[in-house]
Amino acid sequence: MRLSYSSIDMFKQCKRWYYLNYIEKLRVYQDTKYMDRGKVVHELLEDHYKHHINIVSLKAKFEKEWLNKKLYQKMPYDKERTWIMVQRGIDYNLNPTHCEFKFYYERPHYLGYADIVDTNLNLIGDYKTSTYQNKQQYMDQMKYYSWAYFKHFGVIPLAKVYFLKYENKENRFQFTLKDVESVEEDIITINKFIETNLDDINTFERCSTDPRDCPYFCPYKDQCFKTDDKFKFCARIVIQGTKCRLDCIKDPLLLKGIDKSLTYELPGRIQIQKAILKKHGNIPNIEEMGIVHLFNRRNMMFDIGFVDRIKTLLHKFCQYKKYDLVLNVEDKRNKDILNQKLNIMPDKLCNIELRDYQDLSVEKFMNRKIGVLNISVGGGKTEIAAEVIRRLDGITLWLTHKKELLHQTKDRLKDRLGMDIGIIQGKNETILPVTVATIQTIHRNLNKYVGLLSKVKLIVVDECHHGSAKTWKKVLQCCPAFYRLGLSGSIPNDYRMIEIESHLGPIIHKITEKTLIGESHLANPKVIMYQINNRLVMGTWPEVEDEFIVNNKFRNELIKKICDDSDGFVVIAVKRILHGKNLNKMIDRSVFINGQLDDKTREQIMSDARKNKIKVLIGTVINEGIDLPNIDTVIYSPGGGVTPIDVIQFAGRVLRKNENREKLIIDFYDKGKYLTHHSSCRKQVYEQYSDVEIINKDIDEQTKL
């Protein structure tokens, strides 16, 4: 039986692998992308050193081979990195006398090829496009190469391995006569074993009794462990803190599927790449810029929120391969926290009975322990979370991002649970079994609060659509809570959702505005959009915003007239402080609340608003979670530069039902550069509501009210 170093290496790793590949010649699916990439690099370096082809022609051939071998599909982000490997091989500036030199011997029967041979320097070398791993394996390979060289030329050469994935990295080996003579004995022994046992597969033993311990690149795991029953695919998910490890056979198809599922592109990826190329020139792996991988293929690691997603992918993989999945989840977190019972909660929530959909939301979360409840604005998310807190009866940390929300939530929880609620915000700190905190304070003092985070049984993230931000992620990574609840009425349908899922799990229940309006839990608002025809300008967005939104006299006068004609409570949303001040001067009995006011003043304004002491409230901070159930009309005046989430959150302020009054949403269909697009986007948001009437009133800017 003719041997080569690769076949001998396979034999040493696993005799059964060798048998199925070289004797039975069993053909199965293999992911050959790394092999194909290696061939491309080796062929180009051979062309350079053997035929002296210049770099321009090599690059052209590289592009052609990348297409021919379909590597643009198999390795879409590795093209530039592969070309850099070719350049590094050229930069070694070698002077080989032979490329792809063939060694062939009858006794012992052996065939091998060396990437480079230099008989002037008595040097033999091999290129590696793979990641540097086991030095012993490289030493064994080069010992065989040195034996082949010695047998042909009568001299023991210097052996080198060039690692093209790294800059200026190589291994050198100088073997003794005893070393190379042992190789021939090794070949004879292996050859004798193979020829003696050709007809008996059982003598070619498996390398392991567990397929998870088999060599990574072996494609015969299915056949090797197959019995009369289905192949049992054993997998284990180990949870430690907020990180998880998948322990199973590293099947390329499975890993590719997981990686694809946990990968997303940043907005503007192409622009990011162009900017980097312009600033730094051609750099390695440019295709990866703007691509985010949330699964670590090397360590098989992922975040705790993806456990359900990984389970689903494992089941789909096993269904496709017709395997029986044996899945075990090993949770190494502190079980004392999971079983924690403080015995301080009431028998039921105070002053409220949950609605059916709220009860269902609670049940779904209690069954899953982790997940996001996407409940419409006005759907009672705080009450749902309060019931979860009551049932779990353990240490709870509630995170929010605004001071107004902090105090509002604290008061609501105190009312529902009938107990004092702790607070962490700025210099205010009172830690109790149930504590509400701002994310900013926790993040700034993370070392101080890491002990608290480690003891939490339930963490609640309010307005969790912000959870993709680095601040939130860093805090959540330090909290291994068994129960992880995200609350939001406006989950983004883009890349941010997968980042939110990474720490809070998937959306486990969704209730839309349309559903709640249809069930008469929310008011069915009337939407009026006043169309404003602005003259076309070629200015920048700040210039357009200043002229046609902030300082638009006609538009602001129209807002004033709407407020004067209303006999109910009106809330106006603005984006710019200057715009708010302008409206505040124009509108009688109006109050302007913004982030520049101190906490005490802002709290007093909100308290007065809830007590109907304010007729018109203008604000930059009255969108998410602010509970003002007595609102009759909302006027959305920012005009542009906002997201659909901002619109949904603000419009939701007026959806609280009041049987005696009609609820109004007033907006403007501003026309002009930037403005038309922004107005159209807001209109689409409003049209999501049930039975919403869109009234377009075309009012020319020059027309007098």
**How many whole angstroms separate alpha carbon 235 and alpha carbon 221?**
14
pLDDT tens for each residue of 371-402: 999 998 788 899 999 999 999 999 999 999 88
In whole angstroms, how far apart are CA 382 and each of 411, 459, 476, 531?
11, 13, 20, 37
Average pLDDT over residues 476-501: 90
Percent residues over pLDDT 70 in the chain: 91
Cβ atoms of 477 and 499 closer than 8 Å:
no
For 150-218, give the secondary structure using H, E and C.
HHHHCCCCEEEEEECCCCCCEEEEECCHHHHHHHHHHHHHHHHHHHHCCCCHHHCCCCCCCHHHCCCCC
Residue that the structure tokens 């969108």 belong to:
623
Flag the least confident range among 146-160, 371-385, 517-531. 517-531
Q: Where are the alpha helices (DSSP H) in 526-586?
A: 541-545, 553-565, 577-586
Q: What is the pTM of this model?
A: 0.66
Most confident of 40-49, 71-80, 211-220, 685-694: 40-49
Residue 112 has pLDDT above 80, yes or no: yes
Residue 74 has pLDDT above 60, yes or no: yes
pLDDT tens for each residue of 205-263: 999 888 878 888 888 887 777 665 667 888 999 999 999 999 988 888 899 999 999 99
Average pLDDT over residues 112-129: 95
pLDDT tens for each residue of 615-652: 999 988 666 556 676 788 888 888 665 566 667 666 66
Query: How do beta strands 590-593 and 434-438 pair?
Result: unpaired
pLDDT of amino acid 703: 43
For residue 685, give both structure tokens. Answer: 């948001």
Mean pLDDT score across all residues of the chain: 87
DSSP-assigned states of every residue in 335-369 = HHHHT-----S-SS-TT----HHHHHHHHHHHHHS
Residue 704 has pLDDT above 50, yes or no: no
Q: Which residues pair with 370 in a beta bridge?
A: 484
Q: How confident is the model at residue 503 (pLDDT cuts 50, 70, 90)?
A: very high
Task: Specify the length of the chain in residues.
Answer: 705
pLDDT tens for each residue of 266-286: 888 788 778 877 777 766 667
pLDDT tens for each residue of 415-450: 999 999 999 998 899 999 999 999 999 999 999 999
Residue 512: which residues within 8 A CB-CB, separation 6 or more?
376, 688
pLDDT of amino acid 701: 43
Which has the higher per-residue pLDDT, 139 or 692? Answer: 139
Ordered by where they begin, the domains of the chain are 5-196 (3.90.320), 227-327 (3.30.780.20), 337-511 (3.40.50.300), 526-700 (3.40.50.300)
Cβ atoms of 439 and 400 closer than 8 Å:
yes
Percent residues over pLDDT 90 in the chain: 50
**How many whole angstroms separate alpha carbon 72 and alpha carbon 30?**
18
pLDDT of amino acid 655: 62
DSSP letter (8 states) at residue 377: T
Residue 537 has pLDDT above 90, yes or no: no
pLDDT of amino acid 692: 52
Which has the higher per-residue pLDDT, 581 or 249? Answer: 581
Q: How many CB atoms lie within 10 A of CB 642?
A: 18
Residue among 349, 162, 327 at smallest CA distance from 254: 327
In whole angstroms, how far apart are CA 400 and each of 182, 411, 471?
69, 14, 12
237, burial (CB in 10 Å: exposed 0-12, middle 13-18, buried 19+): buried
In whole angstroms, how far apart are CA 358 and each of 353, 366, 460, 510, 642?
10, 12, 16, 11, 30
pLDDT of amino acid 705: 42
Which residue type occupies 217?
F
